[in-house]
């Protein structure tokens, strides 16, 4: 320590005796402002990571300097590091910092944001610019609603009609709206218009040819009543500003509310109306879509999906309620409940039996009859049929379910068991979770629907990281058990150094050995080190923004030497700006790749419109003697919603580019594609067709005659359960899929005509916790299961390693043959997922492994790409089901694949696009970002300020998404280095309006099964109350009035949430509303996890993060000079 400095030292012990630790020291100046952060010995070589903090003449923090590795001073301040010069020297640029230009006014509004690197510095033309204005006349259409109250059996809901105002030529008057324009690094503007209430009325973008407008319309009660996407706006304007019912039903989002401001009816474009029924605690109990209002569903009767809760609002069981009554009748029944007014389900010692399973609840919550139970959860204690609690797991003591003399904690408040029924029959998957004395899951015992099991055990270190994991698997009770062991080795900052893998009693394999640079980026990975010599040594490089720039750089002979596969990614530095213009906002401009198979350098050059939708993917072989230009090119155009209007696709043939698809998407009903015609007269790619495509009431495609599919039926999750092929034109008969009620796929049965024998044969594929089986009849055997680096071929008893590109596409697979890396197969893809024809390795040794494009399984029978929640048609570049998260992306077609933004990210489970920044840049790196102690700087707090600034300037149009999916799927992987919160927590979040595809935690204790910290505004103890009082006084002293406590948080459209903020005040002069959340802080001076979650939830709902005020004090370190750190 530096005895003459003020500081706060934070030490996080990484083992019991703290010989391994993560240490950070923040030094403060005389005004109590942080001036330097030292992450002590945080680098791979034991150096300090030093981050200086500077201020401008007004005391404002306008620069965020990148951390610099320096020789350790054993926690002392690096006195010579006071500005960016050291960082500039280390990174080799003139601006190793992010910078913001602030308005010269007391408002300190951000005018410009510049990122690190010469290409993005403040003096360049590639910064993000923010402009604050008022609207002009004839700039924003004025939509008005006429809302009436519909009352049936004392149950009310709003009914709103929509028109364009007759005043001011249909527009808002000038200077009546706030106008904020944010222009990204490529000059693409996004303009947001807000009214005086802070409600977003319009978000305007431009595709380079026309404005792309999304309007948000609020009714007389300030509910969001309509969302009008860009295609609908164009039709309304072309129709003389008249809003027709067809435009509303085909293209717009419509909402209705009850007298308690709850969303009770909604309509998503292309789908029928969806209904939601609540209990008196405002919890969604019943949900019904348009298909469930008919008998044409997998239950073969009309009804509702139901969810039951216990007294802590934990989901206890869900299912289907067969009932033909209306929403008003259902809501009336819940309103009139008196015997169990709270509508809570309680545990019972006496079970009732439904669907072949005993259920230990009292069946008193609504509904009580006509139920098909689909999922079942137990908390606090284990059900009577659960296996005995092991005393220890891998030497770790487990939590009992009752207190005894040797234990002061139990499983109370923890989830103990989960049961999930098959959709098609009454077989169940039962999972039991066992915890160590710190409430961390250390064992999972799963009994599958076939009677077999998958049991997992985890040995955790002091911080909760997995040191060893064991998986024991049987398909049925009669099968031979498969045992999988994994172990992990970490460095002193908990980065994964080595990962070992062992199957049964065979030789242990070193799957991966990782090397990191001084700022935490992975720069090398060695794979397949069974004999001491790795099969491949994989190199990674990055630019100053932290963006991946190469894997085994194919343009660098030294890097590509002895490598099977390599890529180079170019953003702001393409080889040819005419072939691929430079991109500065994160989109990829050029993508080079090369494999040892052929050793030809290949290149895609990408062009985008101003919405970052891919328009041109030009193919080139830049070093070829006879280059084939556009040999595998794709070229697209879009409508205002992002529906593809045309697509041209080429294939290399005899050193020429052969046009194989010239697709015209000739007919849309809203966003539903009705016809596709191919003008290429070539049956390669998409077949010449033009047949009509039909859809069900939920917007699911139910036939595809162009692909010889006569019918597709779906289950209640909108997942296909049977595909029937046209007889007489196809040898295929049908494909039948089986799922659990949480969406996990269990089986695929493919039937086809054997032309030789004339018999119908059936091939079965079983999916069991990542273990995949294949065969016919009783000849069904385990084929493979995944590893973090590829998969294990169980038939051949060998590891197969996958090379994946930045999108997660499996491009090349290899295995060990006589200590040599031998190529198993090579795959190449067009941007939207169609696999190349004419150039691809076809020598795969594992024919049933069909995971490729973005790591998803390709259905050989249909050609679909199977993401978790939807399937896409790669020939057409779109999904054929409505996005379950469509309300988050109202500006976009709910059928669009990845928003067509291929250069910015990848598709996440068929739900949404996720940018490359949101996960590891290299899909082969499974643990890098998840387990780093000191992560890559771009994920650190050095950029947090700028991300928060950017997000607060342009608020998202917040929506509340009530999913009618009862649960979210459990992961299908065998073993991972993290524990998961499970799908029950995600189901709760989904029903509460926070639909998340996956949640990861290191300790269940902090985020127990989706429970909301401080639910419904519960107040704290004396210290908390005292801090609340202080916050009130602070607001008064600052001139705020109308100060209130325990204020319910509402979204900008007025929708209530389950969050409360502790103190709120309004500035009568500026109209500013300031919120303060009081909570507990860590020794680092940050909110503890539950408080951080509350702040995140409030920010996610409102777009504004409350100020955090801690009520507990931190004991500061005292230097020899006697100065106490502020």
Q: Hey, what domains does the chain have and what are their CATH numbers?
A: 6-101 (no CATH), 125-261 (no CATH), 481-692+769-939 (no CATH), 1013-1126 (3.40.1350)
Q: How confident is the model at residue 1087 (pLDDT cuts 50, 70, 90)?
A: confident
Residue 947 clears pLDDT 70, i.e. is over it: no
Residue 917 clears pLDDT 70, i.e. is over it: no
**Residue 673's beta-bridge partner residues?**
668
Coil, strand, or helix at residue 322?
A: strand
* Contact in structure between 83 and 44 (CB atoms under 8 Å): no
pLDDT tens-place string over residues 399-415? 999 988 778 899 999 99
Cα separation of 812 and 800, whole Å?
Answer: 10
* Strand 1107-1110 to 1073-1079 pairing: parallel
Instruction: Give the pLDDT of residue 1026.
Output: 77
Q: How confident is the model at residue 984 (pLDDT cuts 50, 70, 90)?
A: very low
Residue 979 clears pLDDT 50, i.e. is over it: no
Name the burial class of residue 85, with classes exposed (0-12), middle (13-18) and buried (19+) by CB atoms within 10 angstroms of its CB: middle
Which is nearest to 214 in space by CA: 886, 697, 995?
Answer: 886
Cα separation of 641 and 889, whole Å?
Answer: 10
pLDDT tens-place string over residues 61-97? 999 999 999 999 999 999 999 999 999 999 999 999 9
The number of beta carbons lying within 10 Å of the beta carbon of residue 152 is: 13
Which is nearest to 332 in space by CA: 507, 472, 474, 153?
Answer: 153
Coil, strand, or helix at residue 1059?
A: strand
Phi-psi region of 198 (alpha: psi -120 to 50; beta: other; left: phi over 0): left
Instruction: Give the pLDDT of residue 1119.
Output: 35
Name the residue with higher pLDDT: 462 or 756: 462
Residue 530 clears pLDDT 80, i.e. is over it: no
> Residue written as tokens 């016919």?
776
Q: How confident is the model at residue 123 (pLDDT cuts 50, 70, 90)?
A: very high
pTM of the full structure: 0.83
Phi-psi region of 783 (alpha: psi -120 to 50; beta: other; left: phi over 0): alpha
H-type alpha helices, 972-1021 = 983-992
Percent of residues, the chain, with pLDDT higher than 90: 75
- Mean pLDDT along residues 298-314: 97
pLDDT tens-place string over residues 216-275? 999 999 999 999 999 999 999 999 999 999 999 999 999 999 999 999 999 999 999 999
- Mean pLDDT along residues 515-530: 93
176: preceding bond cis by omega (within 30 degrees): no
pLDDT tens-place string over residues 138-169? 999 999 999 999 999 899 999 999 999 999 99
Q: How confident is the model at residue 991 (pLDDT cuts 50, 70, 90)?
A: very low
Instruction: Give the pLDDT of residue 1069.
Output: 62
- Mean pLDDT along residues 519-536: 90
The tokens describing 275, both together, are: 């209904």
Instruction: Give the pLDDT of residue 533.
Output: 87
Instruction: Give the pLDDT of residue 1058.
Output: 64
Percent of residues, the chain, with pLDDT higher than 70: 87
Q: How confident is the model at residue 1074 (pLDDT cuts 50, 70, 90)?
A: confident
Q: Say which range, 335-344, 573-582, 1006-1015, 1064-1073, has the weakest mean pLDDT.
A: 1006-1015
- Mean pLDDT along residues 768-772: 97
Cα separation of 966 and 943, whole Å?
Answer: 37
Summary mean pLDDT of the chain: 87
Name the burial class of residue 1052, with classes exposed (0-12), middle (13-18) and buried (19+) by CB atoms within 10 angstroms of its CB: buried
Phi-psi region of 44 (alpha: psi -120 to 50; beta: other; left: phi over 0): alpha
Q: How confident is the model at residue 423 (pLDDT cuts 50, 70, 90)?
A: very high
- Mean pLDDT along residues 891-896: 98
C-alpha to C-alpha distances, 570 to 542, 804, 889, 938, 1040, nearest whole angstrom: 10, 17, 28, 18, 51
Name the burial class of residue 540, with classes exposed (0-12), middle (13-18) and buried (19+) by CB atoms within 10 angstroms of its CB: buried
- Phi, psi (rounded to 5 degrees) for 287: -140, 140
- Mean pLDDT along residues 866-886: 97
The tokens describing 53, both together, are: 């903090």
Cα separation of 663 and 661, whole Å?
Answer: 6
Instruction: Give the pLDDT of residue 1055.
Output: 65
- Mean pLDDT along residues 992-1021: 33
Cα separation of 678 and 712, whole Å?
Answer: 23
pLDDT tens-place string over residues 851-875? 999 999 999 999 999 999 999 999 9
**Residue 218's beta-bridge partner residues?**
224
* Strand 732-739 to 720-725 pairing: antiparallel
pLDDT tens-place string over residues 838-855? 776 656 678 899 999 999
**Residue 171's beta-bridge partner residues?**
141
Instruction: Give the pLDDT of residue 187.
Output: 97
Instruction: Give the pLDDT of residue 956.
Output: 42
- Mean pLDDT along residues 937-958: 41
Which is nearest to 536 in space by CA: 149, 823, 748?
Answer: 823
Instruction: Give the pLDDT of residue 935.
Output: 27
Instruction: Give the pLDDT of residue 567.
Output: 98
Q: How confident is the model at residue 981 (pLDDT cuts 50, 70, 90)?
A: very low
Instruction: Give the pLDDT of residue 1002.
Output: 28
Instruction: Give the pLDDT of residue 895.
Output: 98
pLDDT tens-place string over residues 602-649? 999 999 999 999 999 999 999 988 777 888 999 999 999 999 999 999
Q: How confident is the model at residue 1001 (pLDDT cuts 50, 70, 90)?
A: very low
Phi-psi region of 411 (alpha: psi -120 to 50; beta: other; left: phi over 0): alpha
Residues 6+ apart with CB under 8 A from 657: 619, 628, 629, 630, 631, 633, 650, 651
> Residue written as tokens 């002193």?
492
Element (H, E) at 731: none
829: which DSSP letter? B
Instruction: Give the pLDDT of residue 798.
Output: 96
Instruction: Give the pLDDT of residue 1121.
Output: 33
């Amino acid at each position: 320590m530096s005895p003459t400095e003020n500081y706060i030292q934070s030490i996080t012990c990484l083992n019991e005796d703290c010989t391994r630790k993560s240490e950070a020291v923040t030094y403060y100046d005389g005004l109590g402002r942080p001036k330097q952060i030292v992450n002590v010995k945080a680098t791979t070589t034991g150096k300090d990571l030093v981050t200086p903090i500077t201020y401008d003449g007004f005391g404002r923090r306008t620069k965020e300097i990148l951390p610099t590795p320096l020789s350790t001073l054993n926690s002392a301040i690096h006195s010579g590091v006071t500005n960016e010069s050291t960082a500039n020297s280390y990174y080799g640029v003139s601006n190793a910092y992010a910078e913001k230009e602030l308005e010269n006014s007391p408002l300190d509004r951000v005018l410009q944001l510049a990122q690190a690197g010469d290409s993005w510095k403040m003096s360049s033309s590639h910064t993000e610019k923010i402009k604050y204005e008022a609207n002009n006349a004839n700039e924003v259409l004025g939509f008005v609603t006429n809302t009436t109250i519909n009352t049936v059996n004392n149950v009310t809901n709003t009914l709103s009609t929509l028109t364009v105002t007759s005043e001011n030529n249909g527009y808002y008057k000038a200077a009546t709206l706030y106008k904020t324009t944010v222009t990204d690094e490529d000059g693409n503007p996004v303009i947001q218009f807000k009214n005086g209430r802070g409600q977003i009325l319009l978000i305007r973008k431009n595709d380079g040819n026309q404005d792309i407008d999304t309007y948000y319309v609020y009714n007389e009660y300030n509910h969001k009543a309509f969302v009008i996407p860009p295609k609908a706006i164009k039709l309304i304007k072309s129709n003389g500003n008249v809003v027709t019912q067809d435009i509303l039903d085909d293209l717009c989002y419509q909402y209705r509310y009850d007298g308690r401001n709850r969303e009770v009816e909604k309509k998503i474009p292309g789908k029928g109306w969806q209904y939601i029924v609540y209990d008196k605690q405002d919890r969604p109990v019943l949900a019904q879509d348009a298909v469930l209002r008919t008998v044409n569903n997998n239950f073969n009767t009309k009804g509702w999906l139901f969810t039951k809760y216990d007294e802590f609002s934990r989901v206890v069981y869900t299912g289907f309620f067969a009932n033909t009554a209306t929403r008003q009748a259902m809501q009336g029944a819940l309103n009139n409940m008196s015997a169990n007014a709270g509508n809570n389900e309680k545990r019972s010692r006496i079970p009732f039996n439904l669907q072949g399973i005993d259920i230990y609840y009292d069946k008193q919550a609504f509904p009580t009859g006509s139920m098909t139970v689909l999922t079942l959860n137990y908390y606090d204690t284990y059900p009577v049929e659960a296996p005995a609690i092991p005393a220890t797991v891998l030497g770790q003591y487990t939590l009992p379910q009752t207190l005894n003399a040797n234990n002061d904690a139990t499983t109370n408040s923890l989830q103990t068991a989960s049961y999930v029924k098959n959709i098609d029959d009454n077989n169940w998957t039962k999972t039991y979770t066992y915890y160590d004395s710190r409430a961390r899951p250390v064992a999972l015992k799963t009994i599958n629907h076939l009677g077999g099991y998958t049991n997992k055990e985890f040995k955790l270190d002091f911080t909760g990281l997995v040191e060893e994991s064991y998986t024991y698997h049987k398909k049925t009770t009669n099968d031979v058990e498969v045992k999988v062991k994994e172990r992990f080795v970490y460095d002193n900052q908990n980065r994964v150094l080595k990962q070992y893998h062992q199957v049964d009693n065979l030789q242990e394999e070193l799957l991966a050995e990782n090397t990191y640079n001084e700022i935490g980026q992975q720069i090398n990975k060695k794979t397949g080190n069974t004999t001491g010599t790795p099969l491949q040594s994989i190199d990674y490089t990055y630019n100053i923004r932290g963006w991946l720039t190469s894997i085994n750089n194919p343009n660098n002979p030294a890097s590509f030497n002895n490598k099977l596969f390599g890529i180079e990614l170019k953003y702001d530095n393409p080889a040819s700006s005419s072939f691929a213009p430079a991109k500065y906002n994160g989109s990829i401009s050029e993508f080079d790749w090369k494999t040892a198979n052929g050793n030809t350098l290949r290149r895609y050059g990408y062009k985008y419109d101003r919405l970052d939708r891919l328009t041109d993917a030009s193919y080139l072989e830049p070093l070829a003697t006879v280059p084939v230009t556009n040999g595998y090119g794709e070229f697209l155009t879009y409508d205002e919603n992002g529906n593809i209007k045309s697509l041209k696709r080429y294939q290399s043939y005899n050193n020429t580019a052969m046009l194989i698809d010239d697709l015209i998407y000739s007919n849309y009903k809203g966003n539903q594609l009705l016809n596709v015609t191919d003008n290429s007269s070539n049956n390669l790619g998409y077949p010449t067709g033009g047949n009509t495509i039909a859809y069900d009431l939920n917007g699911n495609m139910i036939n595809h005659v162009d692909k010889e599919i006569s019918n597709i039926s779906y289950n209640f999750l909108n997942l296909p359960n049977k595909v029937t092929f046209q007889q007489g034109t196809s040898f295929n008969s049908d494909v039948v899929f089986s799922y659990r009620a949480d969406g996990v796929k269990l089986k695929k049965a493919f039937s086809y005509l054997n032309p030789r024998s004339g018999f119908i044969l059936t091939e079965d594929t079983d999916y069991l916790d990542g273990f995949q089986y294949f065969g016919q009849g009783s000849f069904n055997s385990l084929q493979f299961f995944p590893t973090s680096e590829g998969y294990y071929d169980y038939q051949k008893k060998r590891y197969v390693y996958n090379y994946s590109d930045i999108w997660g596409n499996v491009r090349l697979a290899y295995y060990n043959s006589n200590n040599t890396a031998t190529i198993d197969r090579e795959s190449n893809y067009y941007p939207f997922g169609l696999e190349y024809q004419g150039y691809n390795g076809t020598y795969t040794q594992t024919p049933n492994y069909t995971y490729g494009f973005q790591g998803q399984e390709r259905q050989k029978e249909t050609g679909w790409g199977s993401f978790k929640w939807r399937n896409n048609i790669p020939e057409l570049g779109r999904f054929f089901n409505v996005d379950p998260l469509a309300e988050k992306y109202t500006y976009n077609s709910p059928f669009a694949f990845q928003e067509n933004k291929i250069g910015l990210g990848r598709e996440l489970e068929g739900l949404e696009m996720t940018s490359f920044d949101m996960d590891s840049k290299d899909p082969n790196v499974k643990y890098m970002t998840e387990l780093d102690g000191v992560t890559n700087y771009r994920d650190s707090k050095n950029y947090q300020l700028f991300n928060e600034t950017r997000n607060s300037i342009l608020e998202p149009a917040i929506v509340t998404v009530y999913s009618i999916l009862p649960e979210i799927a459990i992961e299908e992987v065998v073993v991972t280095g993290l524990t998961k919160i499970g799908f029950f927590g995600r189901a709760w979040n989904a029903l509460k309006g926070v639909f998340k595809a996956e949640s990861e935690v290191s300790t269940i204790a902090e985020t127990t099964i989706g429970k909301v910290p401080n639910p419904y505004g519960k107040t704290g103890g004396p210290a908390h109350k005292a801090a609340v009082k202080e916050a009130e006084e602070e607001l008064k002293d600052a001139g705020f009035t109308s100060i209130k406590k325990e204020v319910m948080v509402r979204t900008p459209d007025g929708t209530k949430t389950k969050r409360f903020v502790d103190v709120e005040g309004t500035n009568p002069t500026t109209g500013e509303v300031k919120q303060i959340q009081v909570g507990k802080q860590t020794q680092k001076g940050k909110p503890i996890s539950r408080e951080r979650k509350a702040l995140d939830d409030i920010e996610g709902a409102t777009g504004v993060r409350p100020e955090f005020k801690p009520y507990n004090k931190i004991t500061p370190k005292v230097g020899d000079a006697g100065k106490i750190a502020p």
